[in-house]
A = this chain, B = another copy of it.
């Protein structure tokens, strides 16, 4: 897949500061990936001007008309009904038509999920798509899914998420056989709901046929501890865990800043430690982890944070480029086709 030159479709109007941030983000991504082409969907003079201002980018980007924008507070059902001329819809349509390998939007999450599902559908063997993200951990980076697309999941869903997450980790973290853990309230085999236990049994039984190494159950502190490359859970718990980790990190950052301002001595201490503290801040920079990915569709759809800056948006584009270059979709199709074969089917009834 190394020879591929991906085309990325951009929802130029999605996000709090669109289209400025989107175009500036594309410009940063263009510097990093000069062989990537962009199709930007949107409208208005400002969009044309923004692109014209950036000579290098203007040769790699093509503007496509999309007269409407899906608002941040639109319900998914409204977006599906009325969004067909929107920048988000048209970006995903470009993926469906094969014009682009991936779409990136910082717009309405629920709408992006609904339209992606409607236009791109799931490949054979995948019941439901999941939302995944990359997180910084004690050991480097891990992938977690689902983050909110499916509030309740059965054993088959969790089993499929494990495969999708492993293939995403292979593409984005460059780990050939990622380790996978199922999030639970304890590491013992007896704990957890029937669905989780059934998913664990399926993963244990079929592990040899899967692109992953199953590590059993993990607990909340193992997520950030980096115990596994891929954390699999239902969308409710995944969403809660992700936001809890973000909130805790933000609070501790706030406490640290307050501590360094609490006395003149502490202030002097900060001056001495400043460059080391900046390196730590860079390592944990949330903009580096911008971009939730919808896995399990016939196309790549990536959601950037609505409030992200150009650097964050460029990183979301970077995830799309990695997935396209490493043949994520082709791997998903191949793995689930293999699982559908009668040989494997006969081994595990729940499949």
Contact = CB atoms under 8 A, between A and B. Distances in A.
Interface of A: 75, 137-138, 148, 151-152, 183, 185, 190, 192-193, 219-225, 233, 235-237, 239-252, 254-256, 259-260, 262-263, 265-266, 268-277, 279-280, 283-284
Given A236-B193, A251-B224, A255-B284, A263 B276 contact: yes
A251 B224 CA distance: 7
Contacts of A148: 185
A244 B265 contact: no
Given A224-B251, A244-B220, A246-B221, A239 B152 contact: no
A39 B248 CA distance: 39
Contacts of A244: 220-221, 223-224, 240-241, 244-245, 248
A137 B248 CA distance: 9
Given A262-B276, A276-B266, A279-B259, A220 B236 contact: no
The SS class assigned to the A binding surface is: helix
A277 to B, nearest CB: 6
A240 B262 contact: no
20 contacts: A137-B251, A148-B185, A219-B243, A220-B242, A221-B246, A224-B251, A225-B247, A233-B240, A237-B237, A240-B244, A255-B284, A256-B256, A259-B277, A259-B280, A263-B276, A265-B272, A266-B275, A268-B272, A268-B273, A269-B271
A151 B243 contact: no
Contact of A266 (B75, B243, B272): B272
The residue among A152, A240, A265 with the most chain B CB atoms within 10 A of its own CB is: A240
A242 to B, nearest CB: 7
Given A259-B276, A272-B268, A272-B269, A221 B237 contact: no
B270 A273 contact: yes
Contacts of A272: 265-266, 268-269, 272
A190 B260 CA distance: 42
A192 B280 CA distance: 36
